[in-house]
A and B are shown apart, each in its own frame.
Chain A
Amino acid sequence: MNDDQRLLASGALDGTLTTDERARAVADPDVVAEIARYQAVRDALRDTPAPDPDQRDAVIAAALAALDSAPAAAVPSIPVAPVVPLARRRHRRWYGPVLAAAAAVVVIAGGVVVLNRGGADDSDSASLVAEDEAPAATASPLSASVPAPASAADRAAGAIPEAPAAPAEADDAASSATAPPTGGAGATDATSADVVVLDSPAALAAFAADAADHPPLDGITACGQGRLVGTARYRVDGRPVPVEVVRLDGGDIAAIALDSCTVVARMPP
């Protein structure tokens, strides 16, 4: 039995053959025998035990009860990884020594101010000096490094172009975003700092690449698209949105917002 005969037999069973193919099938005794074998397989497959009626009622009742809980309620049960904002890591890597020196200057300058003022309102003075002289050390590192967000329409269409990311970004993403997903509380709190924050499609891809080294997550996706890779937050218009990271059937990696089930970022495999 070769592949052509097998395809003929299978197509004959499904009633999808052309007239010519049907003629070839019936003229070949091996194919005719194979059709009978496939029919027996189909019969066996369809002979499934009937589901328990009580079980059916219970499952449907449980499913309907899920209507009363928001989809995001499922998020805490999905393991999440600890957060290390990628942009912050980049700053640490490239500007760490500079920032450390700046911080030292601030401390020394603050100390001088405190000594000069005699310590009555020292804390206020010191903090003011620090804010004036070392904004890089106190401002959110994310604010300077987040790529310009794409339009919502682009995101929904999965047409977000790959952000220009240096190799170091991907490395950072891989090392920070992909600790084996482990349980974490507060996953539904948008301000909590216990999940990975992704800020570019490149970081998304790195997250997925690293996750491939860990056991696959169980459970279906909340939005019913693709296969679950992990959960994270994706920065959209500066706001970290809870997402599930999935591998779509074509191999693309996508971040899907859990509140709207729209694709907010997408990367080819």
Chain B
Amino acid sequence: MPPLDRRDDVTLVREAQGGDRDALDALLRRHYDRVHAVCRRIAGSTRDADDATQEAMISIVRSIARFDGRSAFSTWIYRIATNAALDELRRRKRRPQLHAVDDDGRPHEAADPAAERRLDAVADRQSIDEALDALPEDFRAAVVLRDVADLDYAEIAEALGIPVGTVKSRIARGRGQLAGLLADDAGNHDDPAGRPTGGPDRTP
């Protein structure tokens, strides 16, 4: 693994725009994991996240010469990643669904406690994936950019091209729906006493 580059984004962007391939490589590596996480949460599966991340990375490379620095570099790339992931999501939804197997894999038997914990983790991930899948795209993008990409409201507003007030509202409503969906899922699948049930957003 290449050594950690201590140059800040602004410096790296400037050098990358000047043709420094190493600087560009460092930028991509620095942001790759979080871009992938954003794509993973918006696109909904690891396979689609991989594709969306690759599209986003290529787009970043091709467009960086024209990045004008009016927004933070991270805001700019998360916007690209969000678009790529939403495109991937829509593409997947147009594909016929042959089966409903999660691509992270779900073992059928737990051989030891560690395996059981891994199983739980997979189940939890599947729960959040299913909850996200039930969320409108607008809400999903706003919540993911806040809670996964860690952008502030103004940056999300810029990335999504919507007013800050709309960002707040979408995040709040998105979180409310996710909390309700996860609570319902917990109530349906394991100890109902351990978690809150019946989110208000689910109440007719």
A interface residues, Cβ below 8 angstroms from B: 1, 3, 6-7, 9-11, 13-14, 16, 33-34, 37-38, 40-42, 44-51, 53, 55-56, 59-60, 62-64, 66-67, 71, 74, 215-216, 218-224, 227, 248-250, 260-261
Contacts and interface: CB of A to CB of B under 8 A. Distances in A.
A66 B32 contact: no
B60 interface: yes
A219 B84 CA distance: 7
A9 B199 CA distance: 14
Contacts of B24: 64, 67
Report which residue of B37, B60, B91, B176 has the largest number of chain A beta carbons within 10 angstroms of its beta carbon.
B176
B162 interface: yes
A59 B32 contact: yes
A45 B63 contact: no
B151 to A, nearest CB: 11
25 contacts: A3-B172, A3-B173, A6-B173, A7-B172, A10-B176, A34-B179, A37-B175, A37-B196, A40-B182, A41-B175, A41-B182, A44-B182, A47-B125, A55-B50, A56-B36, A60-B25, A60-B29, A63-B58, A64-B28, A66-B58, A215-B94, A220-B55, A222-B62, A224-B59, A261-B66
Contacts of B79: 224
B61 A67 contact: yes
Given A62-B58, A249-B161, A33 B196 contact: yes
Report which residue of A7, A59, A250 has the largest number of chain B beta carbons within 10 angstroms of its beta carbon.
A59
A218 B176 contact: no
Contact of B172 (A6, A47, A55, A221): A6
A55 B36 CA distance: 11
A216 B83 CA distance: 13
Given A3-B172, A222-B63, A224-B83, 9 more contacts: A7-B168, A11-B168, A38-B175, A59-B32, A60-B57, A71-B63, A220-B56, A220-B87, A224-B60
A37 B41 contact: no
Nearest to B76: A224
A64 to B, nearest CB: 6
B41 to A, nearest CB: 6
Contacts of B80: 220, 224
B62 A66 contact: yes
A40 B25 CA distance: 35
B107 to A, nearest CB: 15
B162 A14 contact: no
A152 B33 CA distance: 39
A67 to B, nearest CB: 6
A79 to B, nearest CB: 14
Interface string B142-162: 011011100001000000111
Contacts of B46: 49
B119 interface: no
Given A6-B176, A49-B40, A62-B58, A220 B83 contact: yes
Given A45-B128, A46-B147, A59 B57 contact: yes
Given A37-B183, A63-B58, A16 B153 contact: yes
A64 B19 CA distance: 11
Nearest to B1: A53
Given A41-B147, A248-B161, A66 B172 contact: no
B82 to A, nearest CB: 10
Contact of B87 (A63, A219, A222): A219
Given A37-B183, A47-B124, A64 B50 contact: no
Given A34-B179, A250-B161, A42 B147 contact: yes
B178 interface: yes
